[in-house]
Structure 1
């Protein structure tokens, strides 16, 4: 074990313990108060730290940090570095010895308040920690003293923030430098060691720290990333173990950390699925072609070849941390990626979790269904797969009431809420599992994942320790803002190496982000050595032909031409016998919502006027969940229809259309759109027409790809798209990114390392790495109207709103239970919620909760059944004084 033989701070030796100190108070269902001794809490925190290290195999992780941060130090210096780290966890609550905290927070009147009345404990813990270890640090000389001093100050900063967020480091440094040079504060009066014995003047801590930092900035610029990750990882461990210990005292012990215990169960289920069995049959038949379950030109032959090649190249690189997996849309990436994840877990016993990360919630939900089938619908594994995002309810965990003495947990809940469906729901454990990702297989979004990597508050970093020793599959990474691609790959490389992550970056349009690495970085393995082998295969290359003829029309005339061409194409699909297997389904995509809605109305009207029977559907980002589900189901199962949409259709929507029309935007977005057409690769004659109406820069800010010469407005890009030559396209983009990062402006990457990273400006880092840079102010409308069927149950929107209000007002409910039940409501309410910009006009509403307003549906602002934000504005402006 990494921390064997490392001494803990001796509490009894350094504090006057004649009068007990309390850490927490708890009230049982009978109203009885019980208190927890501070020493008990500190010991319980360390117990959970040891448990977490064992469950998550964290001991090698600490070796990684040691090697990267203090690898050159002597063994005695490394031993002190370990002691500083270990005791950051143990000493985090020493400040609760503050008499004011004991009197005012713990009602422990055996102590007397001081004149300051200050009840803070986190900062005083940091102060005591620094004071205690400073002499030990100063006993070393030269570089060893410098790095140990740097660590001591940094660790104390982490302690000081464990009840808040990672805010200003310079302010903390100024305060602790001042206070350590003073006489002992009265708030630390029961701490027996003297203050300031190693410091001869105020400010010396701050001056010494900045002197060391100047040298690090000059000589080890990119050591800033490992130190940033170290700080966040230590912060995550500290707040997690503190939270676990507190929860144990309040609600009972935590037994399950949601890790994969036995990979063999997953492998068995995966290998028994029909898809995997056929792939293995194909593999065995390579020397005997008649034994293959697939025809030579069957797309499943190609999918099997890709599956096997990716596996082979993965196994050739067992010690790598990051992998690129590029493959065409429809080539079975999800199934292949699960096989890769299982192979990684099989090859490294430390790995114990799989995390899938997607750009859109639609992809998250869709992939869960695919994964259940991938594991042959094994019910135990299906239960291990959990969606974690902002709209899916918290997974309810159940337990036997026998686990709780006197059945108090369930008795109290049942007494207050006799309508509880399942009285064995453990709300505390359910919320805890969600906060810390106590699930073996997690499906989440890019935004959630980046919040864990870069967020500054406690709840953001709760899951970080659980991402250690995980296989992480990042899907559609090119959807990240490309001015951040360099920072993203630099952080992913170090996060993967330090936390023993295995990260598979996959997409149909995958930039070689390795070109953005530092100069001394090793190349990252590509799991498909020659992606063109698959892209150039007729099944993928020829499944959709491209037509650029509509690009010659200007903005004034294109919509009329487009209407005619769509109707002409639909009639041709209906009447031409050459289109075998076609269902006459056409997809039209615009950039702006308003354009899509207007065109939807015009197309409907023109079809009616010509007596043509077609169902026309429209889907934009303004549609709520119920409407999206209704439309997608109609498109999947219907025929003779036209879907008008915005970019919400490009990725994450599992539909297979016959023909497409697209307003041009970014080069790789065009390929994402092509992936919605002839996905089955079984149709001959599928085509996509490109046109130019709304400018793409309305949507894609700060994106190198929006330059005209890098879009298909430039004919030079036509052949790149037709031949799927994404490497040539991304080479141009990556060179521009590298050039911009070297320029002397706000994008300069070295300035970012010096001023943001080395100054431990975690708030600025979080802001810098924000994926969605959207400063628009919006409100949410809960629009009551017709009942909606959700999972076979008819939901009345008005009753749902009333029940939601009642739940919010219920102050008798425990916090965890309320969070879980509110998440259940939020998932249902999402079916009735629409987003609009903060209105500059008055509108009628029948209830309000923060930025959520209850309104009554009127068909005036639902023309053709579609919510229209402009019609909503006009309706309320016209009816304001009626």
Structure 2
């Protein structure tokens, strides 16, 4: 009998179960081999759809295809459990050995979870979601599946031998990094195997659906060599500029050379502390391209704090490398699939399945993404994020403005980077003018010794001095009324002025006051606007600055991170020293105006009660300002010295020590405890033994709660829903969403749409629903704003009352 894995929509061609399992096994092996676990990953690949070797599933899929008007209920046949069951009954129920037993748990969990997310080995209710599936769930045709598997996929003796090879890989994996706990290793290995399986399964399914052969990932060494040559041509062209020998440009050139030389060092975690305006994008790219060639890295990945700066950085790199196709911008997940359980992806396509297969798996040579997306890969629920994890190995990963790691995620971030360094053969670059003390915290980052790429940092900071930081924050407070008067006074003295405040509401109010009070062009920027909209406004601002017109821009902190714009004067509402340094980087950016002033004020109308981190940063920075006022030689003699920055971050992290380990209030535990608590200390295990009698222990090696941890994980910025806005091409994309598209068309559309999205907080989403400002597409998986819900002046309008002329572009 021919057992069916998938039936192609276009021509009703059948992919057999054995074809699918062997092809997924091969792909998974190639992904796992990167960290020395080829057979462990291959084992997951060859068993994941083991449960499709049944008459029940064959009948089910044929019925679904032959009766599209009245198909059987999707997901009504469980095909995910059987592969995990085979491992459990073979290697865990009798004559159990340590490493084959642990292997059964790690691989079995990945298999039974491959249409949802990893299960808890022991959950808060003192039950094992893993055991409930592999041990207790009834599988009527399990013996039939087993017989077919050993007949068509791999003979039983060969299978036992394959498992033994996988067990040897597990043993070697566990021996590495003796300072790390077993649970740390179990967790990251399980996630790596899960990633390899998800991507191999989805990729093979997509290729079958598109009727395309597998195209192995090419070696990127030659590509990176070409890019390096183009970059060096660009750098050499700078030498022809008339001011090439100015002190600043000579220093930029020297720092770039230092990065080139540093690329010879082996993989590790390093720091690149080039000051703002020092050319860190080119310098870090130079390091990455040279290092990637020498050590055969597969990807160069830039991780930035905000979606706002992806386009600018990616565009700069595109121009230098003369490349478009091989550079991916991944801003956000446009598809609304928080409950990403696709147990119903059963071999026949609908719009939901197409969307899932269309998501990018980060297999591009050069990738730009955000901190939110990076953390989601490791810790968020569903299969869409973790699919990308294996492509973070054997990579060069550059964290631009790394000080923006969300405070609750510091420990999780450090653990992820340590894994990529220790097991993933990746090189990590922490790129910022204000290095955070990530090696100062409890779950510390294992930064290499002599990690800094740039020599004599304090000398470099002094040489790049372009501004004076004027402390007005320790003297008085400002309202928007008073601030307006101060701005009117200052704009008489300068041509351009940037104001950066901490909250959107205060920014909007100041913008409106200035428009009423002054006959000068005023611009407004906030995250309520989509990226394309913000870029359009920034383009106008740059034009005004270039021709020397009087211009004022009022913005939230989004303008601080990486936006290449230079004002004659900046006013910054008091915040952390890192934010003050970034704001200073928007003033006199290239030193073209001598020394200019950055005024630090304390804004009395900002409500920071829900912005604890900004409030704490403001508190610590204010104390350092006070110290300097009392003794101008303290903290290195100025507010942006390395000594001041080190002191700031150490005090800042000390103030927030209780918040660094992501806490899950629903279960009263930290995320690191749920993921990595040692077996002998596991409180759920202790409660289980107490509940079931002192001699009744749970029969598992691993007891951690992967599913519960993921269910409750949300990077602060991602507690939102991404929606498409009717701005510019976004309007055309919305109009196209009702069409019936191929997977290729959907992938292209999802990449194109990211510049035309905004993120809604829950209360904003509820207001839009109440005011009929939202419309859904693709069975509710994609949301878009109606035209009245978006304004050319302020962006998002939750009242859905933007005027007709304002809404049409």
For the aligned pair, the TM-score class normalised by the smaller chain equals 0.7 to 0.9
Deviation at 1:252, TM superposition (A): 1.9
Q: 1:490 aligns with which of 397, 412, 415?
A: 415
2:652 aligned partner:
733
Q: CA deviation at 1:664?
A: 1.1
- Deviation per CA, 1:576-631: give whole Å up to 9, x if none: xxxxxxxx110112222222222222223222xxxxx4212222222344542332
Aligned equivalents of 1:843, 1:770: Cα separation in 2: 25
Q: Which residue of 2 aligns with 1:600?
A: 511
Would the alpha carbon gap of residues 364 and 160 (structure 1) be closer, same or farther in structure 2, given more than 3 Å must change?
A: same
Deviation per residue, 1:377-404 (Å, 9 max, x gap): x3xx3432221223899xxxxxxxxxxx
- Distance in 1, matches of 2:662 and 2:366, equals 42
Relative to structure 2, which stretch is displaced further, 814-823 or 652-661?
Answer: 814-823
Q: How far is the alpha carbon of 1:813 from its aligned partner?
A: 4.0
Match of 1:299 among 231, 248, 263: 248
- 1:564 equivalent among 473, 485, 490: 485
Q: Distance in 2 between matches of 1:118 and 1:48?
A: 28
SS at match of 1:837: helix
- Within-5 A mapping of 1:621-640: 621-625=527-531, 627-638=533-544, 639-640=549-550
Q: Give 1:128 shift.
A: 1.8
- Cα 1:269–1:657 change in 2 (3 A) is same
2:475, 2:639 → 1: CA distance? 18
CA contact (8 A) 1:658 1:678 kept: yes
CA distance in 2, matches of 1:25, 1:735: 57
Q: In the aligned structure 1, how far is the partner of 2:275 from the partner of 2:576?
A: 18
Mapped partners of 1:834, 1:513: distance in 2: 29
Is the CA contact 1:258–1:438 (under 8 Å) kept in the aligned structure 2? no
Query: Alignment partner for residue 452 of structure 1, among 371, 377, 385?
Result: 377
Structure 2 unaligned blocks of 5 or more? 66-74, 149-173, 336-352, 630-636, 685-701, 805-809
TM-score (norm 2): 0.76
Cα deviation for residue 483 of structure 1 reads: 3.5
Cα distance between partner residues in 2 of 1:42 and 1:188: 17
CA contact (8 A) 2:51 2:81 kept: yes
Given candidates 249, 269, 283, the residue that maps to 1:322 is 269
2:53 matched to which residue of 1? Answer: 97
Give me the whole-angstrom Cα distance separating, in 1, the residues matched to 2:582 and 2:258.
24
Distance of aligned partners of 1:779 and 1:134 in 2 relative to their CA distance in 1, 3 Å threshold = closer
Instruction: Give the TM-score, by structure 1 length.
Output: 0.70
Q: Are 1:224 and 2:143 matched, yes or no?
A: no
Question: Structure 1: any 5+ residue segments left out of the alignment?
Answer: 1-18, 66-81, 110-116, 140-144, 195-214, 282-291, 394-427, 574-583, 608-612, 877-882
Q: Give 2:368's match in structure 1, choosing from 418, 435, 443.
A: 443
Q: Which residue of 1 aligns with 2:764?
A: 837
Correspondence for 1:127:
85
Verify: 1:343 aligned to 2:290, yes or no: yes
SS in 1 for 2:144: coil
Distance in 2, Cα, partners of 1:601 & 1:331: 35
In the aligned structure 1, how far is the partner of 2:192 from the partner of 2:62?
Answer: 30
Match of 2:281 in 1: 334
- Counterpart among 675, 679, 691 of residue 585 in structure 2: 675
Check if 1:371 corresponds to 2:320: no
Larger Rg: 1
Deviates most, 294-303 or 362-371: 294-303
The residue number in structure 1 matching 2:215 is 255
Alignment of 1:95-174 (within 5 A): 95-106=51-62, 119-134=77-92, 138=95, 145-170=97-122, 174=128
Q: CA deviation at 1:99?
A: 2.8
Task: Identify if the C-alpha distance between structure 1 residues 772 and 550 changes in structure 2 by more than 3 Å, giving closer, same or farther.
Answer: closer
SS of residue matched to 1:190: helix
Alpha-carbon distance, 1:515 to partner = 2.7
Label 1:842 to 1:190 Cα distance change in 2 as closer, same or farther (>3 A). Answer: closer
* Contact 1:431 1:819 (8 Å CA) reproduced: no
Give me the whole-angstrom Cα distance separating, in 2, the residues matched to 1:762 and 1:562: 50
Q: Deviations over 1:236-284 (max 9, x none)?
A: 11122222333333322121536514132222222222x24657x9xxx
Structure 1's 92 and 763: CA in aligned 2 closer, same or farther, altered over 3 A?
Answer: closer
- Partner of 1:528 in structure 2? 454
Shift in Å, 1:441: 0.9
Which residue of 37, 41, 49 corresponds with 2:16?
Answer: 37
Let me know the Cα RMSD of the aligned residues: 4.3
Distance 1:534 1:517, change over 3 A: farther
Figure out how many residues of one structure are paired with residues of the other and give that number.
703
1:48 maps to: 27
Contact map agreement 2:305 2:404 (CA 8 A) in 1: yes
Task: Work out which of the residue numbers 2, 7, 10 in structure 2 matches 1:28.
Answer: 10
| Kept after mapping to 1: 8 A contact 2:327/2:365 | yes
Does residue 311 in structure 1 map to residue 260 in structure 2? yes
Q: Is the 8 A contact 2:526 2:558 kept in 1?
A: yes
Alpha-carbon offset, residue 297 of structure 1: 4.1
Structure 1 residue 192: Cα displacement = 6.0
Give the alignment partner of residue 384 of structure 1, picking from 317, 322, 326: 326
1:591–1:743 distance in 2 versus 1, CA, 3 Å: closer
Tell whether the 8 Å contact from 1:357 to 1:444 is kept in structure 2 after alignment. yes
Q: Which has the higher contact order (CA 8 A, sep 6+)?
A: 2
- Superposition pairs of residues 185-264 of structure 1, within 5 angstroms: 185-191=139-145, 222-250=181-209, 251-257=211-217, 260-262=220-222, 263-264=224-225
